[in-house]
Structure 1
Amino acid sequence: MICNVSLQVVPNVPEEDLYPVVDKVIDMIRESGVKYIVGPMETTMEGELRFLLEIVAKAQEICLENGATRIISVVKIDYKAGGVTIDEKVHKYC
């Protein structure tokens, strides 16, 4: 079933490394092939829940591999019978 998962990662790295580490997470999301939208505070993805949660887990690993000593992540899941898409929620604003 299609759902939405929003992910915000805040890696504990020197300030000048923050955006480069977050960029690596976004690159991984892009390379995964899922539909996604980058926002100013989080990235929202669309796909099967299990696959999206694997992406969330990989994001943590990417942060650690790039110097984070700790990562604070916020994950939001929108899941309903019949599925839910990004387009149905934002189409009237685009």
Structure 2
Amino acid sequence: MNASIALQVLPNVTEREETRRIVDEVIAYIEKSGLHYVVGAFETTIEGDLDELLEIVKESQKICVRAGAPGVMSYVKISYEPAGVWTIDDKTGKYDRKRREREAQNE
């Protein structure tokens, strides 16, 4: 794995539920890729090979338009290192573990 991206797609539609429906189609496509990904409140982070990730970015734009959006704005962050990048768990794992511990204590 030599790259990770954070992708936010913003379909040019006005209704919240329409936005959610279109974004859900993009996330379903990402899931079908088989790559490790995490959906966040503002963006989805995906790990993999740079070329494969850039193809996902490109196809995500087309998915939004095919789903009915007249256009789409996207924000993409790319981390690329040929020798390998930090994983999602490297970056956020300790926070997820702390959250799970708090939730377990509250049960």
CA contact (8 A) 2:12 2:72 kept: yes
Residue-by-residue CA offset, 1:4-58 (whole Å, 9 max, x unaligned): 1010000012313110000000000001101000000000000000000100111
Would you identify which runs of 4 or more consecutive aligned residues in structure 1 move more than 3 Å? none
Tell me by how many angstroms 1:80 deviates.
2.4
* Cα RMSD after superposing both structures: 1.1
Alignment of 1:23-42 (within 5 A): 23-42=24-43
Paired position in structure 2 for 1:78: 79
Structure 1: tracts of 5 or more residues without a match: none
Q: Which has the higher contact order (CA 8 A, sep 6+)?
A: 1
Structure 2: tracts of 5 or more residues without a match: 97-107
Q: TM (normalized to structure 2)?
A: 0.83
Tell me by how many angstroms 1:81 deviates.
4.5
Q: TM (normalized to structure 1)?
A: 0.93
Q: Which residue type is aligned with residue 49 of structure 1?
A: L
Tell me by how many angstroms 1:83 deviates.
1.1
Distance 1:28 1:70 in 2: 18
Q: What secondary structure sits across from 2:6 in the alignment?
A: strand
Greater percentage in strand: 1
Tell me by how many angstroms 1:87 deviates.
1.6
Distance 2:88 2:77 in 1: 13
Q: Which has the larger radius of gyration?
A: 2
User: Could you tell me the percent identity over the aligned residues?
Assistant: 51
Distance 1:23 1:38 in 2: 11
